[in-house]
Amino acid sequence: MLRDDVLMILCTHEGYFSGAEISRRLGVTRMAVSNAVRALRDDGYEIDAVTNRGYCLRGTPGRLTQGEVCAFLPEQRRALVRCFDSIDSTNSYLKREAMQGAPHGLCAVANEQTAGRGRSGRDFRSAADCGIYLSLLLRPRCAPMEAATLTSHAAVAVCQAIDRVCGCETGIKWTNDILLNERKICGTLTELTLEGETAALDSVVIGIGVNVNNRMMDFPLELREKAGSIFSETGQTVNRAKLTAAMIEALDAMYAAWEHDRFAYLQQYRDRCLTVGREVRVLRGDHVRDALAQSVAEDFGLRVRYADGTEETLNAGEVTVRGKNGYI
Ligand code: BTN
């Protein structure tokens, strides 16, 4: 949309940008540019217009939009990014699109989700204007089991993006919750679809929800001890469009590495895994056992030792691990 193209230009330039230059770059008339600017203002963008100088973006409405996200992405990536003001769930959207033949690399981003989904069938709170709700569609050519390491790789990629853009140090709670100051700021939900007849892997949708600019009072009371946002932990209001773009680029780089080596990020995952060395509670169905987390195994499983001295490598799909003391 022309409106998004104009926004993209204004987002990536500080100061004034001439209307003539915008119309030349986009191959449209000055009138079309002026109409696009009017539409952007109607949407809440503050844009100054000064004769002989052009337009200058002074303020944004605080929503995550296609134009703003794409402004931070290289041109060749933009075509496969779809940004929604509000959607049921970016994972559900990509699964529907995948069934219609959508390509590898398609990315869905939302400013709000009305039916965001978390792991184990839980809801994922996805309030407008404060978080990032992002899903990536992948079509790896491999057996379903081989795709199991993708989620841990994605967690590392998201940590890299957050650390780079926000200057903080995130860690991972096994298996793939991202923590800042021991509070969960990000969760990941990966969903696989298989071909009906052959049971071959058809698509993988990796969904990531980041609490970015939420204030503590935005969280329900029962979550306040364990949940946080980048804002609540660092005091900085983060440009969500910039962080979204950084996440997309980090996920793309992750996939390129994973294609060649299914364990490419194992060492980085180990370095970031905060669960190791902690006392944990292992939940398997109704059965609960306390253990000490020893290490991250070669297959990203969690190696634990029980009080009786026996050891076991836990597999993400079959158990849940909770910290015995505090969140981790
Ligand atoms: C969890 O912590 O339980 C996982 C949360 C995953 C939430 C993300 S937000 C984007 C994508 N769309 C969804 O409906 N869920 C994932």
Q: Would you list the DSSP string of 222-273?
A: GGTTTB--HHHHH-PPP-HHHHHHHHHHHHHHHHHHHHH-TTTTHHHHHHHB
Question: Which of 64, 87, 91 to probe ligand 1 with, by most ligand atoms within 8 A of CB?
Answer: 91
Q: For 128-160, how does the pLDDT look when each residue is reduced to its tens digit (9 = 90+)?
A: 999 999 999 999 999 999 999 999 999 999 999
Q: Is the confidence at residue 294, as pLDDT, over 80?
A: yes
Q: Whose CA is nearest to atom 9 of ligand 1?
A: 209
Q: What are phi and psi of 227, to 5 degrees?
A: -100, 155
Residue ranges and CATH numbers for the domains of the chain are 2-59 (1.10.10.10), 66-272 (3.30.930.10), 279-323 (2.30.30.100)
Q: Is the confidence at residue 76, as pLDDT, over 70?
A: yes
Residue 327 pLDDT: 64
Q: For 13-36, how does the pLDDT look when each residue is reduced to its tens digit (9 = 90+)?
A: 889 999 999 999 999 999 999 999
Confidence of residue 326 (pLDDT cuts 50, 70, 90): low
Collect all residues with Cβ–Cβ distance below 8 Å to 117 and sequence separation of at least 6. 89, 91, 92, 123, 124, 189, 207
Residue 136 pLDDT: 98
Average pLDDT for 188-202:
94
Task: Name the maximum alpha-carbon separation found in the chain.
Answer: 79
Question: Which of 133, 179, 212, 240 to probe ligand 1 with, by most ligand atoms within 8 A of CB?
Answer: 133
| Atom of ligand 1 minimally distant from the CA of 110 | 10
**56 burial level (CB within 10 Å; 0-12, 13-18, 19+):** middle
Confidence of residue 236 (pLDDT cuts 50, 70, 90): very high
d(CA 243, CA 235): 16
Average pLDDT for 209-221:
95
Give the Å distance between the CA of 158 and the centre of ligand 1: 13
**CB of 303 within 8 A of CB of 295?**
yes
**CB of 208 within 8 A of CB of 154?**
yes
**73 burial level (CB within 10 Å; 0-12, 13-18, 19+):** buried
CA angle 296, 299, 304 (to 5 degrees): 35
| Atom of ligand 1 minimally distant from the CA of 115 | 14
Q: Is the confidence at residue 110, as pLDDT, over 70?
A: yes
Q: What percent of the chain has pLDDT over 70?
A: 99
| Atom of ligand 1 minimally distant from the CA of 89 | 14
pTM: 0.92
What lines the ligand 1 site, CB under 6 Å?
89-91, 113, 116-119, 122, 124, 133-135, 187-189, 207-209
Residues β-bridged to residue 50: 54
Give Cα 167 distance to the centre of its chain.
Answer: 17
Confidence of residue 271 (pLDDT cuts 50, 70, 90): very high
Q: For 51-67, how does the pLDDT look when each residue is reduced to its tens digit (9 = 90+)?
A: 999 999 998 888 899 98
Give the Å distance between the CA of 18 and the centre of ligand 1: 41
Collect all residues with Cβ–Cβ distance below 8 Å to 197 and sequence separation of at least 6. none
Give Cα 35 distance to the centre of its chain.
Answer: 33
| Atom of ligand 1 minimally distant from the CA of 177 | 2
| Atom of ligand 1 minimally distant from the CA of 90 | 12
Question: Which of 95, 107, 117 to probe ligand 1 with, by most ligand atoms within 8 A of CB?
Answer: 117
Residue 328 pLDDT: 67
Q: For 306-317, how does the pLDDT look when each residue is reduced to its tens digit (9 = 90+)?
A: 999 999 999 987
Give the Å distance between the CA of 29 and the centre of ligand 1: 42
Residue 325 pLDDT: 65
Backbone conformation region of residue 243, classed left if phi is above 0, alpha if psi is from -120 to 50, else beta:
alpha
d(CA 158, CA 169): 12
d(CA 318, CA 293): 16
Q: Is the confidence at residue 247, as pLDDT, over 90?
A: yes
Question: Which of 132, 208, 240, 321 to probe ligand 1 with, by most ligand atoms within 8 A of CB?
Answer: 208
Number of Cβ atoms within 10 Å of the Cβ of 237: 12
Tell me which H or E stretch contains 45.
none
Q: What percent of the chain has pLDDT over 90?
A: 86
Q: For 33-50, how does the pLDDT look when each residue is reduced to its tens digit (9 = 90+)?
A: 999 999 999 988 999 999
Residue 196 pLDDT: 86
Q: Treating both helix axes as pointing N-terminal to C-terminal, what angle do 2-11 and 19-26 enclose, rounded to 10 degrees?
A: 130
Give the closest residue to 125 by CA, choosing from 157, 89, 92: 89
